[in-house]
């Protein structure tokens, strides 16, 4: 088959519009987070009910990864991105008119479903349109550009929400998702390489088995798990209360500090992409090095006598944020160890790692906080620094688990390569 279409100007057009769909997906994903106060008023909901919106959406996202990966290998990325954009447009439109919690949850489930289809599809497009060292760099850039979506929810969306109101703000987001539905139909193609590999039909069960039996997929899963669970735990649930209630940071400053995550991703993503491309054998060491640095910073902050100074907390956040670009290395393992016809399934499996790790950590940290509160006779504050110190230390247990499996699977993956 001719390879002339690879790295062509058409490749860049396809990539640009696929990225646009991903930026939209991230903005749809994060929009509800900045509308927390308005959601509480609109749905007359408690904090716990509000938290369930995020949890439901993420459970749907993570649970959909393997089925989405299978569909991706069967139907190709174009149709999955189109379907994802449509789901998100419909979900946000439903949310715009929602007046109670069940309606709101239905909207968020639809958004989570749609969101789940986009990232893995964009990654699957890359080897269909590019070759060589461009792929790991573009894989990182996909993650990096996606962060722009978070800025869309933090600024324009939030301004519309405050200035015009709930229905208008969510309608605009629905319109954005619908616009990417149209641009994906118009500009995103699977390309000639896809026609060559799509004949490799296989049963779903055997695709999953084939992908999971590959030690490179498992190494990717544990790499994603170990690098991403701490950033997800921090961003999704415990970061904000830890900074505000535990470390005494002003809430406005704590929100502003969250922008560190976007900045680090933008700066570190391309560097790590270039390093992954030029020194592939060192990929796992980069990931392990970043995890080690995060753990050292957590140890410093959790052992700090009293509240840590701001600069130490900023250093902690910079290192936690580095886990985002490091997690993308997991997808590089999936891509380089799997044949093209199971790549979607393998990528979906890898993408569940950091989310599964985060669910367990988020839950256990909350459980420990509750236990400590009850043990103290439920007096004083539920969220306090000594309790956070103990509860957040659970991350070391999870990290140890992840590092152990990374080392086990790395040995197997290296043996597999040596036998080839």
Positions in the binding site for ligand LYPLPQDE (CB under 6 A): 119, 143-144, 146, 228, 265, 269, 324-325, 327-328, 351, 354
Residue 182 Cβ, how far from ligand LYPLPQDE at the closest point, in Å?
22
CA nearest neighbour of 362 among 248, 226, 229, 247: 229
Which of 121, 214 has the CB closer to ligand LYPLPQDE?
Answer: 121
Supply the minimum distance, in Å, between the C-beta of residue 321 and ligand LYPLPQDE: 8
Give CA–CA dist 82/68, Å, rounded: 13
DSSP string, 310-359: HHHHHHHHHHHHHHHHHHHHHHHHHHHHS-GGGHHHHHHHHHHHHHHHHH
The smaller minimum CB distance to ligand LYPLPQDE, of residues 136 and 269, is found at 269
> CB count, 10 Å around CB of 411?
12
Q: Are 387 and 373 in contact (CB under 8 A)?
A: yes
Residue 286 · residue 272 · CB < 8 Å? yes
Give whichever of 140 and 190 is closer to ligand LYPLPQDE, judged by the CB atom.
Answer: 140
Residue with the shortest CB distance to ligand LYPLPQDE? 143
Nearest distance, CB of residue 357 and ligand LYPLPQDE, angstroms: 11
Task: Output the smallest distance, CB 203 to ligand LYPLPQDE, in A.
Answer: 26
CB-CB contact of 139 with 126 (8 Å): yes
C-beta of 111 vs 387, nearer to ligand LYPLPQDE: 111
171 versus 226: smaller Cβ distance to ligand LYPLPQDE: 226
CB 86 within 8 A of CB 134: no
Q: 111 or 328: whose CB is closer to ligand LYPLPQDE?
A: 328
Residue 76: strand, helix, or coil: coil
Closest CB 5 distance from ligand LYPLPQDE, rounded Å: 26
Task: Indicate the Cα dihedral angle 200, 340, 323, 51, nearest 10°.
Answer: -30
- State the minimum distance, in angstroms, from the CB of residue 173 to ligand LYPLPQDE: 17
């Amino acid at each position: 088959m001719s390879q002339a279409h690879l790295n062509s100007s058409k490749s860049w057009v396809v990539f640009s519009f696929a990225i646009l769909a991903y930026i939209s997906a991230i903005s749809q994903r994060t929009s509800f987070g900045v509308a927390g106060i308005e959601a509480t008023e609109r749905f007359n909901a408690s904090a716990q009910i509000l938290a369930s919106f995020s949890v439901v959406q993420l459970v749907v996202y993570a649970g959909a990864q393997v089925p989405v990966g299978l569909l991706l290998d069967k139907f190709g990325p174009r149709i999955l991105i189109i379907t994802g954009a449509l789901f998100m447009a419909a979900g946000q439109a439903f949310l715009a008119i929602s007046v109670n919690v069940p309606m709101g949850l239905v909207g968020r489930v639809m958004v989570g479903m749609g969101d789940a289809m986009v990232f893995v599809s964009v990654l699957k497009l890359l080897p269909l349109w590019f070759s060589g060292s461009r792929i790991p760099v573009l894989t990182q850039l996909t993650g990096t550009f996606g962060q722009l979506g978070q800025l869309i929810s933090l600024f324009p969306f939030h301004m519309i929400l405050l200035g015009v109101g709930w229905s208008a703000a969510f309608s605009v987001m629905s319109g954005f998702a619908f616009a990417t539905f149209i641009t994906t139909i118009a500009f995103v193609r699977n390309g000639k390489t896809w026609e060559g590999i799509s004949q490799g039909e296989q049963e779903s069960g055997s695709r999953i088995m084939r992908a999971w039996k590959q030690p490179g997929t498992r190494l990717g899963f544990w790499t994603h798990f170990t690098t991403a669970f701490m950033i997800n735990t921090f961003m999704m649930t415990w970061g904000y209360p830890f900074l505000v209630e535990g470390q005494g940071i002003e809430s406005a400053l704590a929100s502003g500090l969250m922008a560190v995550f976007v900045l680090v991703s933008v700066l570190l993503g391309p560097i790590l992409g270039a390093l992954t491309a030029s020194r592939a054998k060192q990929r796992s060491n980069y990931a392990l090095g970043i995890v080690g640095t995060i753990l050292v910073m957590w140890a410093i902050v959790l052992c700090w006598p009293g509240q840590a100074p701001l600069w130490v907390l900023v250093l902690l956040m910079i290192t936690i944020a580095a886990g985002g670009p490091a997690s993308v290395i997991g997808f590089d393992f999936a891509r380089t160890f799997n044949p093209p016809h199971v790549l979607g399934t393998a990528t979906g499996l890898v993408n569940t790692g950091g989310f599964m790790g985060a669910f367990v950590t988020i839950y256990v940290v909350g459980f420990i906080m509750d236990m400590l509160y009850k043990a103290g006779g439920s007096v004083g504050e539920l969220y306090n620094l000594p309790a956070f110190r103990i509860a957040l230390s659970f991350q070391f247990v999870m990290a140890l688990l992840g590092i152990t499996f990374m080392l086990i699977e790395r040995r197997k993956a290296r043996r597999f390569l040596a036998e080839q």
